[in-house]
Amino acid sequence: MEIITQSSATATINAPAAAIDITDWLFKLSDLEYQACSKAHVACGSTMDINGKRVSINVENVAGNLLVQHYQEEISERSNCRVNSISDSFSELGVTKLGITWELTINRLTEKTSELENKVTILITDEFGALLKRNDTQVTDAIKLGMSKNVAEHNLEETPLFAKDIERKALSGQWA
């Protein structure tokens, strides 16, 4: 699948990296906590797939595009979590699927501080390519630029709020 856009944002966490379990955070994030991290966040929950892998289900509305994401765990470490989704996308163009990779990384800054890196990659699926073709639209630089802008703005909004939630939980000793 071709990458249509990538976005990365960082935020400081006033807690040591060793006190954080980013994978546990992602898969135990409550619906209300998720909603508090962005005006675009509608709902979230988690479950298991048939192979016993954890799945985070997120619903968000980014720039008029309603996304239902089914993130399956790929990397599940205390300081690195990567999940992949073939997400349902509902937009003015129609209903389709987008590939999305979401990766969260915790980096140690000092003994008492760390950094959250929130990286999102959007991939063109066959279904999305077919939808564009039906609408006589191609993946142009303008489409990529628009999606890049929307994803970057969303990432810049949610990343510091994710970091605050992680910080609160780390300082409470949740992952001690």
Neighbouring-strand partners of residue 73: 83
State what percent of residues in the chain have pLDDT above 90: 84
Q: What pLDDT is recorded for position 6?
A: 96
Q: What pLDDT is recorded for position 138?
A: 67
> Does residue 2 register a pLDDT over 90?
no
Q: What pLDDT is recorded for position 18?
A: 97
Taking CB atoms within 8 Å and a gap of at least 24, the contacts of 108-115 are 108/16, 108/17, 108/18, 109/12, 109/17, 111/16, 112/14, 112/15, 112/16, 113/12, 113/13, 113/14, 113/15, 113/16, 114/12, 114/13, 114/15, 114/16, 114/17, 114/20, 115/10, 115/11, 115/12, 115/13
Render pLDDT for 117-153 as a digit per residue (tens, 0 to 9).
Answer: 999 999 999 998 888 888 777 666 777 888 899 999 9
Q: What pLDDT is recorded for position 85?
A: 98
Residue 117 CB neighbours (<10 A) = 16
Q: What pLDDT is recorded for position 129?
A: 85
> Does residue 56 register a pLDDT over 70?
yes
Q: What pLDDT is recorded for position 163?
A: 98
Render pLDDT for 10-34 as a digit per residue (tens, 0 to 9).
Answer: 999 999 999 999 999 999 999 999 9
Q: What pLDDT is recorded for position 144?
A: 80
How high is the mean pLDDT of the chain?
A: 94
State what percent of residues in the chain have pLDDT above 70: 98
CATH class of 2-169: alpha beta
As a whole number, mean pLDDT of residues 46-72 equals: 96
